[in-house]
Amino acid sequence: MEKQFYKVDVCGMEVALPVLAIDNDLSIAFFNLHGAQALTEHCAYHLAKLVQGAEVVITAESKGLQLAHCVARQLGHDYYAVARKSHKLYMQDGISVTVKSITTKNVQTLYLSENDVNLIKGKKVAIVDDVISTGGSLQGLEALVEKAGGIVVAKAFVLAEGDAAKRPDVKFLATIPLL
């Protein structure tokens, strides 16, 4: 079977996304920034404009890591926060929340280190990630920011998938359908 692609224009850069089946009735246009330096920088440049005024950027590992790194750099931030999907040894005094998202079949827990909790506490925080679909991961990130004592001032994504594009509380660069 020939591989199918969905083409999307992200602020003037055309990207061909492979179509991947999640189950028999649902496929997604898979967006992957890993290893895509030019695309990551391009997206970060445009996302940084959407989150101006934020004092801290947070993302969930792993596909949002390099994006958050580049957005934080664009904003002149020395650090950004990362919600981990597994508990690390250095996270003894951190916090956690449980979430469900379309790309993870099971419920998962997001963990934030004490260092990142202190980075967020009392600050205006921008949540940045690659794709929003059901909003499960976003809900987890919002809960972590609130639990850490931060204030979410922006929620920005490269792509909004399906009905997520109708959400008035999120910003995004382009849309993709659920297939």
Give the pLDDT confidence score for residue 84 in this predicted structure: 84
What CATH number is associated with residue 60?
Answer: 3.40.50.2020
The parent domain of residue 52 ranges over 5-176
Give the pLDDT confidence score for residue 146 in this predicted structure: 95
Number of domains in the chain: 1
Is the per-residue pLDDT at 91 higher than 90? no
Give the pLDDT confidence score for residue 16 in this predicted structure: 95
Mean pLDDT calculated for residue range 147-173: 96
- Give the pTM: 0.90
Q: State the pLDDT confidence band at 166, using cuts at 50, 70 and 90.
A: very high
Six-digit token string for 152: 């979410």
Q: Which contacts of 108-113 are long-range, i.e. CB under 8 A and separated by 24 or more positions? A: 109/85, 110/60, 110/83, 110/84, 110/85, 110/137, 110/140, 110/141, 110/144, 111/83, 111/84, 111/85, 111/86, 111/87, 112/81, 112/83, 112/84, 112/144, 112/147, 112/148, 113/84, 113/88
Per residue in 102-124, pLDDT (tens digit) is 555 667 888 899 999 999 999 99
Is the per-residue pLDDT at 160 higher than 70? yes
Q: State the pLDDT confidence band at 90, using cuts at 50, 70 and 90.
A: low
Q: Which of 16-20, 23-27, 59-63, 151-155 has the highest mean pLDDT?
A: 151-155
Average pLDDT, the chain: 90
Comparing 3-7, 17-21, 61-65, 106-110, the range with the smallest average pLDDT is 106-110
Comparing 27-31, 46-50, 95-99, the range with the smallest average pLDDT is 95-99
